[in-house]
Amino acid sequence: MFLRPITTAYRQAGRYREVANVLFRHGFGYLVDQVGLDHLVPWRRRLFGRSPDGVAHLTPAERVRLVLEELGPTAIKLGQFLSARRDLIPPALARELEKLQDEVPPVDFEQVRPVVEAELGAPLEELFAAFDPKPLAAASLAQVHPATLPDGRPVVVKVQRPGIEERIEADLAILHDLAALLERRTELGKIYALTEVAEEFAHTIRAELDFRLEGHHADRFRENFAGDDRVHIPEVIWSHTGRQVLTLERVYGVKITDVAGLRAAGHDPTAVAQRIAEAILTQVFDHGFFHADPHPGNIFVSPEGRITFMDFGIVGYVDPKLREELAELAIALVRHDVDELVRRLVELSFVSRRIDIHRLRYEAARLLRRYYAVPIRDIRLRHSFEEFLSLAHRFHLRLPPDLTLLAKTLMTTEGILITLNPSVSVADIAEPFARRLMAEQASPDRLLRQLVSTVSDLAVNAAALPRRLNTVLGQAATGELSVRIERAEAEVSTGALEPAANRLALALVAMAVTIGAVVLLQNGPGPRVFDVSVLGLLTAAFAVFLTLTLLFAVLRTGKL
């Protein structure tokens, strides 16, 4: 197949060739063919083999990880993004993608200096009393340097790698093209709406590239935990912050998983585990805004014993709607109500195809039965969440991104707690938070708000009904109205559908005429009898005639 389905700038042709050859070299030649990139792979390589000895013994998931590592920063970020989307990918692949390391050699200081000076608008010597050329850490998007402000305050300066934004934008364009091709050419591409997934990832990584946004995230966390002596959020130095440079108060402490270091500093690992769990759960259930990348490198324990968070580029939200849906799911779980659980799960998801509800209910019931007699303190969130997300994956239920991000955050938190003290349970600590959440569902204030919202929705829909009926009738008049009827048991002949379609059309007309009669009776033009419009009376009589005709047809046949 020597077609070129991807229309892109010639300057990206080299990157396409690199992508095609890396995929081919790791045994994904069939995918190269499927997206029409086979012409970019040398014919000798296509002819003499698809899986070199170096990768033939590896699992597909391991080979995917190697592909992403070789393709660089954007691909690594994509893998990390997908590791949180266990509703989209198999569990084995998600676990393998969690191994991706976002660590790269640092950029030379002479390339860093111009970025800082251009972003902050002054020479480095004027901006800082001291600036260490050697970074504390280097990742694919940025590196972090220790520095000192002119007033003597120690800070850390996060500087974006030169040229990384342009490279990522080029890769995002290629990713979108490939997603669109897979969506058109494969069934799974259609089911999972891969272009939407690509756009979701693009939105995520672009947000990470704007360090001002990360600064605002830090400010929000700092405000949320104001007055809480258990948690510390470093201060953003806005005078030294821009789109590509972020300056934060420098904090000192022990890495959260350094058990020996914690003990040496006089901290009890069990107490630290309790505090970190409570801090994360407070963000989720009380603030509705949580740190979504709580890996050990981003959390420290200060000398005073406060949990200190770093790196606020990835955050998650629990808005009122998601909060309510989580509460309803929790109530269904507590009551062992499988039908309600399945209904809520389907309503929560983006569904692009018909679901075998009976099979889903069976699988959900089988999953719930495993936890009937298990004490909460013995439940491991990683295992239970993996089973839940695997269920969503098997039935092609695409969950809200913030929900999958929340699941990953809680699984990562549980991993930290196990390191500190295996007997500490996130599920056990989360129980009072969950019970409070469920209690809110039955509170009088919430029920009143729900009632007001329902009445308001009914009023809006009632006001819009005449317009919508007019649209339907207009489509019917022009032949544009189509009615889709599915029968799972047997094929239904056209002749059997015609009477039902006729009665449906008659019912729509009768409804429209009835609404018109109500309006005309009050405000109709022309002569009036007893202050009632004659035109309205005639229209009402016609509406009654249509209704009686419809009732007679139903009574005569015994069915609609």
Dist CA 76 CA 183 (whole Å):
22
Enumerate the β-bridge partners of residue 308: 232, 300
Q: Which two tokens stand for residue 173?
A: 């364009």
Closest by CA position to 279, among listed 252, 255, 253, 305: 305
- SS3 of residue 206 by DSSP: helix
Dist CA 193 CA 187 (whole Å):
10
Is 108 tagged catalytic? Answer: no
- SS3 of residue 401 by DSSP: helix
Q: Are strands 254-255 and 245-249 parallel, antiparallel or unpaired?
A: unpaired
Over its C-alpha atoms, the chain yields an Rg (Å, rounded) of 30
**Which of the residues 38, 171, 293, 311 is marked catalytic?**
293
The residues near 478 (Cβ < 8 Å, ≥ 6 apart) are none
Torsion, Cα of 413, 414, 420, 425 (10° steps): 130
Closest by CA position to 346, among listed 295, 334, 335, 359: 359
Enumerate the β-bridge partners of residue 157: 145, 247
Dist CA 387 CA 134 (whole Å):
44
Q: Which two tokens stand for residue 295?
A: 């890996």
Enumerate the β-bridge partners of residue 142: 160
Query: In terms of C-beta density within 10 A (0-12 exposed, 13-18 middle, 19 or more buried), how is residue 176 classed?
Result: middle
Closest by CA position to 316, among listed 254, 235, 399: 399
- SS3 of residue 144 by DSSP: strand
Closest by CA position to 163, among listed 228, 222, 115, 117: 115
Q: How many Cα atoms within 13 Å fall on the side-chain side of residue 243?
A: 7
What's the start-to-end Cα distance of the chain, in Å?
53
The residues near 536 (Cβ < 8 Å, ≥ 6 apart) are 517, 519, 520, 521, 522, 524
Rounded to 5°, the CA angle 97-101-105 comes to 150
Contact in structure between 235 and 222 (CB atoms under 8 Å): yes
Catalytic residues: 293
